[in-house]
A and B are shown apart, each in its own frame.
Chain A
Amino acid sequence: MRALTWQGTKKVSVETVADPEIVNPRDAIIRVTSTAICGSDLHLYDGVIPSMQPGDILGHEFMGEVVETGSDSSLEKGQRVVVPFTISCGGCFHCRITQYSACENSNPPEKQDMSEKLYGHPMAGIFGYSHMTGGYAGGQAEYVRVPFSDVGPIVVPDHLDDEKVLFLSDILPTGWMAAENADIGPDDTVAVWGCGPVGLFAVQSALLMGAAKVIAIDHYPHRLELARQLGAETINFRTSDVREALMEMSGGIGVDAVIDAVGMEAHGFAVDNMLDIAKQTVGIGADRASALKQAILAVRPGGRVSVPGVYGGMTDKFPLGALMEKGLQLRTGQTHVQRYMKDLLGRIEEGEIDTTFLISHRLPLEQAAEGYRQFRDAQDSWTKVVLKPGG
C-alpha cells in the first residue's frame, strides 16, 4: 500500500510499504477514505518530538471502511468508522474512569520506558505519533491496523459525509475538552490563544457551552476571520498588546478562563520566545511556551487555565508565582476522545455543530508532502488539509 512516511526533520514522503494485517484478536483493518494533517503532526515534521524513526507512518486523524476484523473485534466488514487518535483498551483503571488518553495497556511494554522516565508515568498509545507513544503506524495511508477496535472506533451513518465526521477523530473533541476544562459559566469571558483547528473548535465549543464572550488570539488575518465568523472577538498579537487588550475587553477584571491552543511551537518575537526558539533549534529541549506564559498572566485571579496545546519537555521561566499567587486552576492533557465522540456525533447529526468550514484544501494522499509544507508555511490560508488515499 501507499503511506506517508516521516524521513527526518521537515522530510516526509509517500512510499510503498507492506499492507497491515490483523495481529491481535481485538484488531480491525480499516481502508482509509479520509485523513487529515494535524498541528500535532507539525511538531513531528519539525522534529521537536523525540523518538521518531525514518519510515514511520504518520497520521492520527482518519476514518474509513472496515475491511477485516480480528476474532474479538466488535466491528463488521463494510462499516464506516471514525477512529480516535488515542488507543485505549477500555478495561484498565484509567479507561474505566474515561481518562482514555491515559490508558495503561495500549503502549507496548518495551516502548513505555522513555515516557516513564521523562514524565514519571508511561504515555498511552497514539497512532502515528513517535515511538514514545507506541510506534503505531498512522492513518495517512491506504490501510491501518486499529488495535482495540471494539473500544475506539465509532460507526457513522452513511448519510453523513466524511468531511462532516472526520474531525471526531481528534480536533473536534480536543476543542470541546479544552472548553470543558475551562469550566465555562454563563457570564464568563474566555480567551483562546491560537486560531488553528484546535483553537477554532475551542471557540465554537466555548460559545456552545454558554460563554458570554470569547476572544480569539492569533496573527493570521484569515484564521482570525474564521474565529469572528464563529462569533468570537479577536486580537492580532502582532499589532496589539495582548494582555492590555484582554484587560480592557474584560472590563479590567481579566478573563475568567484561558485556553492555550498553540502548544510548544509558539510564534512571535517576545524575548522569552526567541530564547526558547534558539534552545529548541540547538536541541537543548526547551518547549516554546510563550502563549501559555502570556495566558497565565492574562487570566483573572481564581481563573482557569486549559491547555490542549501539546508540550513534550521542559520550559524555562515558567510563571509559577502567578499560577500560585493568583490561585489558578490548570487542566491539560491529550484528549480523552472516546469520552466525547458519541455526544459530538449527535450534535453533528442535529446540525448543532458544523466542522466543514475549517477545510481549506483536499489533496490526494500522493501529494501529502506538499500538504505538510503548505500547512506549515502558509498557515493563514491552509487552515486544514484533508488527504484522500487512492485518489
Chain B
Amino acid sequence: MRNEHPDRWASRWPYLALAGVGLAAIPLAAAARRRRREVDPDSAPGYTARRDFGDYRVVGRSVTIARPRAELFAFWRDFQNLPRFMVNLEKIEPSGEEPGHNTWHIRAPGGRVFAVDTRIAREVDGELIAWRSTEDSEIDTEGRVTFEDAPGERGTRVSLIIAYKPKGGAIGEAIATLAQRSPELQARHDLKRFKMLMETGEIATSARTRSERQHQLEEAR
C-alpha cells in the first residue's frame, strides 16, 4: 500500500461481511498515506508495517503459483470462477448493464446471505484487478489482486490486499477469529485454495467420504 495511489483501492469483499464490517468513514488510502511519512522507507509491503491503520484493518497475503501469469489473471477475472475457491462466496452475478458492475452473494454466519454491489475500480490486463463497494453500500471495503512474474521458473506471484473496518472493534474480531471467520484467515485460506486449484486441479481435503467433505465445507463457512 505504501506506494499506492488512493483510488487503486476498491470494492466490496466477502471477508468483510463475515467479520461484520462497518461503513468506512475515512478512505483508508489517505490514512495510510499520512502515516507513510512517519516511517523509514523500506522494501516491505505496506500491509506488513508495524503500525495500525486507525479504525481499519488491512489484510495482505502473497502466494507464488507455478502457472503462467496470463492464465491466472484470466481465471480470476472470470468472476464466475471465484466461488470455486472462496468458500463463503455463493455466487457472483453481473448487476445491470454496466460492465464490471457485479453483485456478490456472500454467506455469513447464521445462514444469512448478503448481496453486495461492487464495481471494478481499476484493471490492468494480466496485472491487476481492483474493486470497491458502491456508495450506497452498507459495507465499505476495498481490495485488489495483483499478478507479477516470479523470479526464474517459479511462475507468478499473486498478492491480495483488502482493507476493511471490523464491526465491534477488537472484540468482534476476536469472536470472528474464534469462529474461523476472521477476514485474515479467510483471505489466507482462499488464496491457498486458489493456488491448489491452479497448481493441482483440485483443493486438498482429508475427508474420507464425499459427505464428510460437504460437512467440512460447511464448517469452513
Write the residues of chain A forming the contact surface with B, with a CB cutoff of 8 angstroms. Answer: 18-21, 23-26, 72, 89-93, 96, 104-113, 125, 134-137, 145, 147-148
Q: A23-B209, A104-B199, A147-B204 are in contact. List 6 more A-B contacts (CB 8 A).
A: A21-B208, A21-B209, A23-B213, A109-B193, A110-B216, A137-B206
Which listed residue, A105, A109, A111, A136, touches B200 by the CB 8 Å rule?
Answer: A105
CA–CA, A39 to B192, complex, Å? 32
Which listed residue, A93, A109, A112, A136, touches B66 by the CB 8 Å rule?
Answer: A93
Interface membership of B34, Cβ < 8 A? no
| Across-interface contacts of A145 in B (CB, < 8 A) | 208
CB of A108 within 8 A of CB of B208, answer no
CB of A134 within 8 A of CB of B199, answer no
| Across-interface contacts of A89 in B (CB, < 8 A) | 196, 199-200, 204
Summed over the interface, the residue pairs from A and B with CB atoms below 8 Å come to a total of 82
CB of A136 within 8 A of CB of B206, answer yes
Closest 10 CB pairs of A and B: A109-B189, A109-B192, A20-B208, A24-B202, A135-B206, A91-B199, A136-B206, A89-B200, A108-B204, A105-B196
A/B interface sample: 12 pairs, CB < 8 A: A18-B209, A19-B209, A24-B203, A24-B205, A72-B201, A93-B155, A104-B195, A104-B199, A105-B200, A109-B203, A110-B216, A112-B192
| Across-interface contacts of A72 in B (CB, < 8 A) | 201-202
Which of B64, B190, B208 is the most central at the interface, judged by chain A CB atoms within 10 Å of its CB? Answer: B208
Question: From residue B189, how far is it (CB to closest CB) to chain A in Å?
Answer: 4
Which of A72, A110, A136 is the most central at the interface, judged by chain B CB atoms within 10 Å of its CB? Answer: A110
CB of A108 within 8 A of CB of B200, answer no
CB of A93 within 8 A of CB of B154, answer yes
Q: A23-B210, A23-B213, A93-B154 are in contact. Are A108 and B205 (CB under 8 A)?
A: yes
| Across-interface contacts of A105 in B (CB, < 8 A) | 195-196, 199-200, 204
CA–CA, A269 to B42, complex, Å? 51
Write the residues of chain B forming the contact surface with A, with a CB cutoff of 8 angstroms. Answer: 64, 66, 154-155, 180, 185, 188-190, 192-193, 195-196, 199-210, 213, 216, 220
Q: Which residue of A lies closest to B214 (CB)?
A: A23
Q: A105-B195, A109-B189, A112-B192 are in contact. Are A93 and B64 (CB under 8 A)?
A: yes
CB of B207 within 8 A of CB of A125, answer no
Question: From residue B205, how far is it (CB to closest CB) to chain A in Å?
Answer: 5
CB of B199 within 8 A of CB of A125, answer no
Which listed residue, B154, B189, B199, B207, touches A23 by the CB 8 Å rule?
Answer: B207
Which of A18, A20, A23, A136 is the most central at the interface, judged by chain B CB atoms within 10 Å of its CB? Answer: A23
Question: From residue A2, how far is it (CB to closest CB) to chain B in Å?
Answer: 14
